[in-house]
Amino acid sequence: MSENSTHTNTIEFTQANFDTLINADSPTLVDFWAPWCGPCKALGPTINELANDFEGKSTVGKLNVDDHPSLAAKYGVSSIPTVLVFKNSKLIKTLVGLRPKEAYAEVLNAG
């Protein structure tokens, strides 16, 4: 068994894969975060749970704003955590700050 025994379907978004991943018929949730951000760390397990809960229905992942500042700037992300939800490359929902899991699940279910 690996060190990380909890399997997760969480995607790591990067400059290279971002445009391809958000261009889906199903909702794509992107958590804009950074390793130094306390609320971001608190949100991490929720994002992993959502990735597992919505496996095969939606894409769920994280984008490190320190590694990809141009993407954060492109979408006006000025405070983190910020979660953006896309469908067919269109931004359909912005959730700023730490929210309960249900708030994110509701958006994915609606999509």
Q: Which residues contact 80 (CB under 8 A, 6 or more apart)?
A: 32, 33, 34, 37, 39, 40, 65
To which CATH superfamily is domain 11-98 assigned? Glutaredoxin (3.40.30.10)
**Whole-number Å distance between alpha carbons of 99 and 67:** 24
State yes or no: is 37 an active-site residue: yes
Over range 10-16, report the average pLDDT: 96
State residue 4's pLDDT score.
40
The one catalytic residue in 21, 30, 40, 43 is 40
The one catalytic residue in 11, 24, 37, 95 is 37
State residue 1's pLDDT score.
30
- Token pair 């490359």 in the structure block, residue: 89
Convert the pLDDT of each residue in 65-81 to its tens digit: 999 999 999 999 999 99
Over range 48-64, report the average pLDDT: 97
Average pLDDT score over the chain: 93
State yes or no: is 12 an active-site residue: no
Question: CA dihedral defined by 95, 98, 100, 105, rounded to 10 degrees?
Answer: 40
17: pLDDT strictly greater than 70: yes
Q: Which residue from 55, 57, 47, 111 is spatially nearest to 85, judged by alpha carbons?
A: 111
Whole-prediction pTM value?
0.92
Structural domain boundaries of the chain?
11-98
**Whole-number Å distance between alpha carbons of 96 and 3:** 32
